[in-house]
Structure 1
Amino acid sequence: MYFYAVFLRGVNVGGVKILMKDLTALLEQAGFSRVRTLLASGNVVFASEESDPAAVKTACEAAINSVYGYGTRVIVQDAAQLEYLAGNFPFAPPNDGIQRHEYLVLTESEEKAASIMGTAPEPSTEERVAQLSHGICWEVPRGQSLDSLLAKHFAKVASKSLVTTRNMNTIHKMLTALKALA
Structure 2
Amino acid sequence: MKTEKRQPKKWVKELREWTVSLTIAIVVALLFQTYVYAQSEVQNVSMQNTLVAGQRLIEDKWSYRFHEPKHGDIVIINGPESELRLIKRVVGLPGDVIDIQNGEVYINGEKINEQYVKGQTFPGRVAIPFKVEEDQLFVMGDNREHSMDSRELGPIARSSIEGKAIFRIWPFPKFGMLND
Q: Greater helix share, 1 or 2?
A: 1
